[in-house]
Amino acid sequence: NAGVTQTPKFRVLKTGQSMTLLCAQDMNHEYMYWYRQDPGMGLRLIHYSVGEGTTAKGEVPDGYNVSRLKKQNFLLGLESAAPSQTSVYFCASSYGDHYEQYFGPGTRLTVT
């Protein structure tokens, strides 16, 4: 039982490049989330999903897209990376509303 996994762990991009972050969970959770964490800002929700085939915008969705084609996977895409997207990205999943969220180990992204 791996819990929540994220790939890659680290990535360096140049401005304008694109990439996809993969989140996978093996707990059969319906809800999945993508957060970014910047110093002094806490965790900010980018996009979330309440089930396979559904996605919705969070607090800071601009510049990101997501897809949830399979229940266990939640992908976060950056179409044209900007230095402002330099951050640590965490994926999380939960069983449902008002249940604990389980976080993945994070991806450290640097955009130069």
Partner 1 sequence: QQPVQSPQAVILREGEDAVINCSSSKALYSVHWYRQKHGEAPVFLMILLKGGEQKGHDKISASFNEKKQQSSLYLTASQLSYSGTYFCGTSDGSSNTGKLIFGQGTTLQVKP
Nearer to partner 1 (CB atom), residue 17 or residue 58: 58
Binders in 73-92 for partner 1, by CB under 8 A: 90
Question: What beta strand segments (E) does 1-111 contain?
Answer: 4-7, 10-13, 19-25, 31-38, 42-49, 56-57, 64-67, 73-78, 87-94, 102-103, 107-111
Strand, coil or helix: what is 64?
Answer: strand
User: What is the layout of strands, in order, in the sheet containing 19-25?
Assistant: 4-7, 19-25, 73-78, 64-67
Could you say which of 22, 45, 52, 86 contacts partner 1 (CB under 8 A)? 45
Q: Which stretch binds partner 1 (CB under 8 A): 15-23, 27-35, 69-77, 79-87?
A: 27-35
Instruction: State which residue, 44 or 71, has the beta carbon closest to partner 1.
Output: 44
* Binding of partner 1 by 61 (CB under 8 A): no
Q: Which two tokens stand for residue 102?
A: 């389980």
User: Smallest distance from the beta carbon of 97 to partner 1, in angstroms?
Assistant: 5
Site residues, partner 1 (CB under 8 A):
31, 33, 35, 40-45, 48, 50, 56, 58-59, 90, 94, 96-106
